[in-house]
Structure 1
Amino acid sequence: MASLLDWSLIDGAVPAGLTFAGGAAFAVLLADGRRVWWRRILPLVLLGMLVLGVLIEVLVNQVWRPFADRVPTNTTLWITMIVGALVLGVLRALPQRWPARIGIALAVVVLAVCGVADINRYFGQFPTVGALFGSGQGPTTDLSQAAKPAASTVVVPPGKALSEVWQPPADLPAQGTVSEVTIPSSAGFNTRTGRVYLPPAYQATPRPKLPVLVLLAGQPGSPSDWLGPGQLATTMDKYAADNRGLAPIVVLPDHLGSELANPLCLDSKLGAAETYLAKDVPNWIRQNLQADPDPQAWSIGGLSQGGTCGLQLAVRAPEVYRNFIDISGQREPSLGTRKDTVNAAFGGDEAAFKRVNPLDILATAKFPRTAGLIVVGNKDGEFRPQQQDVLKACRRAGMQVDWLEIPGPHNWVVWRPALAQAMPWLAQHTGLTPR
């Protein structure tokens, strides 16, 4: 029998039970015998909910546009439902005595929990109860302890992969380590605390010089997203267990600056995000970690806006990153529309945007030494066509690009397994395993 922490929040008994409880709670909020309730109060509240839903769609998705992705209809509906439930609860409770008021308040809380749970089901953010409470993120270790310099390193002969010469010691740890790190910007780009995953093999002496994967969250997002909802430590530990402790070093920098910011991974009026990822982060890695220095062993990737960013850096800094993993990315860096993007980032200078836009660059330049993996959900109606355009542009530019389609829409149901399924491809293209 599965433990409580293993209970699924995506399908099965828990979501079904919450749906039933939410329906019962909504029935409690509606159950008022007053004639004025059915003729005036309830219709006005329902009308207000409809107006709120329209306002969210217009003001958030069309005017403000704080996110690279639009707020989905599922989320809009539940926001209006929860607000409506709160209003109904207050209006139902006013003429009641305290025992009834407590029951009505509980109904509002149950409906709100049901709404939050259903939004989580839509995004796949927390697949289990354990994930909700932070399990699977891996132990946090001070980097000064986890990344002590090794006296010697493994020498890999030309033409060989690291796995072909690697001999793990008997006392190799079963798990990797996760450390919080501060990666400074040379150009004043504001960043939050980053994370670094070091696989078990990093603790060995002689130390294997492992490949590097710089992995980016979506927007809104933070570096810890790949550890929490993304279950990165669990995924990488499993890969390492199947490969005698070997796995890439994974660096999770902050490429946004704040949860709602979107500097587009460009050097523009919005910040020096490109310089941060193309120079500052690689320099920090070289100074603080013993990694494979060959650009062929370096990759950058991410999900959604972070996937777009991975493509951008592969095109803009191919001397640093020879490989990229674009998971559910966009056709181009965007704040909603091309006009809004150009105005915000370059003061309306379309030519300046085209000089840094990956598809415009790919139309005229060749990248025969760059490899990419483009991943998307087969039910992602908005981003799948954009990824197909990216695939065609990359192949026309001479890149070695593969396509991976995973069952699901634009959410963690796709992004979480995407990393695990990308690992064999990544290992072969970075010299970790033979091709």
Structure 2
Amino acid sequence: MSLDSLGTEITAVVVAVLSAVALSAVWNRGRGWQRISLRTVTAVLCLLSAAASGLLAVNRQVEIYPTWSSLTGGSPDGDVAVPASAPVRHSPKGQILNLSVAGPASNLTMPVYVYLPPGYQDDGTVRYPVVEALHGYPGSPTGWLNRLHVAKVLDQEIKTGRMAPTIVLFPYQTPDPLLDTECTNLAGGPQTETFLTKDVPAVVRARFPVRTDAGWGLIGYSAGGYCAIDLAMRHPGQYTAGAAMSGYAEPGIAIGNGTEKTLYNDLWRLKHLPVPAVALYLAAARADGQPLRDTHALAQAAHAPLSVTTSYIDGGGHNVQTWQAMEAPAFDWLSTQLGRPVTSSTPAPADDQSRSPASLAIAPHI
């Protein structure tokens, strides 16, 4: 069982209940130091198991540590079974692959999950649009895979034609699950922005048949929503559009050099810097205070050549259920901005090794 699974949480609750029963059963057993020892041991066990079950319940919601390996400082996806295999051409369903990106620009090495759409082919005749999907904090890409069931949503939207076949990337945003980078380059810390905007695109372009024009976009929820807005505005040459679900206008952390109040503050950028020619989709729940206020503020401050589309959900809040309701419309909107795959009548040579699958592995939908 993975660390953030329902089975692990239920096991912890059962142990906590049994510990409480044991404490009651031994309370009056023995005499003297024997009684004190029994009471002490079972009381400590009861407290530890109750605390563990509570922490596991919280972790299951926010996925600070999605795997046992990440808890002990190992690879964040180290517990995911990934039998070695290449992508399947013309698969009737989307495929989730696991790709390790060693970034020379950022000096970061982190895993990236890759969704390949139904019917995927890599013979050089088709080049796909790409979306980078960014998670919230605390969290990991497994929030998209497990909580938002993104593979199923993408399959459905592509099947119905509401979304074009698209390659979707799910990168980690920090090598430390307890360090919030908000997809920025921290002064003296991880260069996450560089990893996401330079290293990941470079590796994906080298290994998959993707578009090299304006067919790249971003999407994110919560802190990932801020990331989608900010990275689209900061890198208009790389991204055409960004979709934010419950996103923010500023990072809410200290970058280390004061730029969280200027260059990384999107309202400040709209007021003081040239406006980028990108499109933004801002979705917020009417009961979600800060994202709602920031959505209104960004929409009011925006002007050409930046375009902003807003979407609101009555009630809701800052939670998985709200993002599930926003998810499909946000991907559909992105697809209208990015367009469809482009085709070529000349296939790549049969021995073309430019997109070698050697470092790829098919990962189960966890």
Asked if 1 retains the 8 angstrom alpha-carbon contact of 2:113 and 2:169, the reply is yes
Q: 1:277 aligns with which of 164, 188, 196?
A: 196
Instruction: Tell me the residue number matched to 1:222.
Output: 140
Name the SS of the counterpart of 1:396 in structure 2.
Answer: coil
Question: 1:202 aligned to 2:117?
Answer: no
Provide the C-alpha distance between the structure 2 equivalents of 1:379 and 1:273, rounded to a whole number of angstroms: 31
The structure number with the bigger radius of gyration is: 1
- Counterpart residue identity of residue 404, structure 1: S
Partners in 1 of 2:162 and 2:323 — Cα distance? 25
Name the aligned partner's letter for residue 403 of structure 1: T
State the match for 2:326 in structure 1.
Answer: 418
Preserved CA contact (<8 Å) 2:136 2:223: yes
Superposition deviation, residue 373 in structure 1: 0.7
Q: Does 1:293 align with 2:200?
A: no
For 1:355, give the aligned amino acid. Answer: L
State the partner residue of 1:381: 289
Which amino acid in 2 is paired with 1:402? T
Q: Say whether residues 1:240 and 2:158 are aligned partners.
A: yes
Per the alignment, in what secondary structure is the counterpart of residue 294 of structure 1? coil
CA contact (8 A) 1:219 1:305 kept: yes
Offset from partner CA, 1:47-89 (integer Å, 9 cap, x none): xxxxxxxxxxxxxxxxxxxxxxxxxxxxxxxxxxx8xx99977
Instruction: Mark the CA change 1:251 to 1:121 in structure 2 (over 3 Å): closer, same or farther.
Output: closer
Aligned to 1:252: 170
Contact 1:226 1:232 in 2 (8 A): yes
Q: Quickly say closer, same or farther: Cα 1:278–1:120, change in 2 above 3 A.
A: closer
SS in 2 for 1:299: strand
Q: Separation in 1 of the partners of 2:317 and 2:62? A: 9
1:399 is matched with which residue?
306
Q: Choose between structure 1 and 2: higher strand proportion.
A: 2
Match of 2:277 in 1: 369
* Aligned position for 2:34: none
- Residue 400 of structure 1 aligns to which amino acid in structure 2? S
Of 79, 84, 95, the match for 2:27 = 95
Report the CA distance between 1:367 and its aligned residue.
3.6
Q: Which amino acid aligns with 1:392?
A: Q
AA in 2 matched with 1:270: G
> Counterpart of 2:202 in 1: which secondary structure?
helix
Which residue identity is paired with 1:145?
A: A
> What is the DSSP-based 3-state SS (H/G/I as helix, E as strand, rest coil) of the residue aligned with 1:215?
strand
1:429 maps to amino acid? Q
Q: Using the alignment, how far apart are the partners of 1:356 and 1:110 within structure 2?
A: 42
- Structure 1 residues 404 and 123: CA distance shift in structure 2, 3 A: farther
Task: Name the SS for the 1:201 alignment partner.
Answer: coil
The aligned counterpart of 1:14 is none
Q: Secondary structure at the match of 2:233?
A: helix
TM-score (norm 2): 0.69
Contact 2:284-2:312 at 8 Å conserved across structures: yes
3-state DSSP of counterpart to 1:293: coil
CA offset digits 1:324-368 (Å, max 9, x no partner): 011112220122xxxxx15xx22xxx3685134322212133446
Q: Once the two structures are superposed, what CA deviation does each residue of 1:17-41 show, in whole Å capped at 9, x if it has no partner? A: x9xxx9xx9xxxxxxxxxxxxxxxx
Alpha-carbon distance, 1:372 to partner: 0.9
Q: Report if aligned partners of 2:173, 2:192 keep a CA contact under 8 Å in 1.
A: yes
Please, what is the CA RMSD of the aligned residues? 4.1
Corresponding position of 2:101 = 183
Residue pair 1:199, 1:237 contacting (<8 A) in 2 also: yes
Verify the 8 A CA contact 1:278 1:320 in the aligned structure 2: yes
What number of residue pairs does the alignment pair up? 305
In structure 1, how many angstroms separate the alpha carbons of the residues matched to 2:63 and 2:172?
22
Question: CA 1:264/1:270 → structure 2, altered by over 3 Å: closer, same or farther?
Answer: farther
**Aligned-residue offset at 1:299:** 0.3
Amino acid at match of 2:203: W
Q: How has the CA–CA distance of structure 1 residues 120 and 278 changed in structure 2, closer, same or farther, with 3 Å as cutoff?
A: closer
For 2:151, what is the secondary structure of its paired residue? helix
Q: Give the residue type in structure 1 aligned to 2:86.
A: Q
CA positional deviation for 1:92: 4.3
Separation (CA, whole Å) in 1 of partners of 2:213 and 2:276: 17
Q: What's 1:145 paired with?
A: 86
Amino acid at match of 2:222: S
Q: What stretches of structure 1 of length at least 5 have no aligned partner?
A: 1-8, 10-17, 26-81, 126-138, 149-171, 336-340
Q: Indicate the SS of the match to 1:181.
A: strand
Change (3 A) 1:374 1:352: closer
Taking only the aligned residue pairs, the percentage that are identical comes to 28
Q: Which stretch shifts more, 213-222 or 270-279? A: 270-279
Q: 1:390 to 1:141 in 2, by over 3 A?
A: farther
Mapped partners of 1:331, 1:180: distance in 2: 31
Corresponding letter in the other structure for 1:146 = P
| Structure 2 counterpart of 1:409, from 313, 317, 322 | 317
Q: Distance in 2 between matches of 1:91 and 1:140?
A: 43
Measured against aligned partners, the alpha-carbon deviations of 1:344-398 in whole angstroms (never above 9, x if no partner) come to x22xxx36851343222121334463111111223213332223223323x2364
- Once residues 184 and 122 of structure 1 are traced to their aligned partners in structure 2, the CA distance between those partners, rounded to angstroms, is 29
Give the match's secondary structure for 1:422.
helix
CA distance in 2, matches of 1:180, 1:122: 23
**CA positional deviation for 1:114:** 9.1
What is the identity, as a one-letter code, of the residue corresponding to 1:430?
L
Give the direction of change, closer, same or farther, for the CA distance of 1:87–1:202 in structure 2 (3 Å limit). Answer: closer
- 1:122, CA displacement in angstroms? 7.8
Structure number with the higher helix fraction is: 1
User: Secondary structure, in 3 states, of the residue corresponding to 2:289?
Assistant: coil
Q: Counterpart of 2:327 in structure 1: which amino acid? A: L
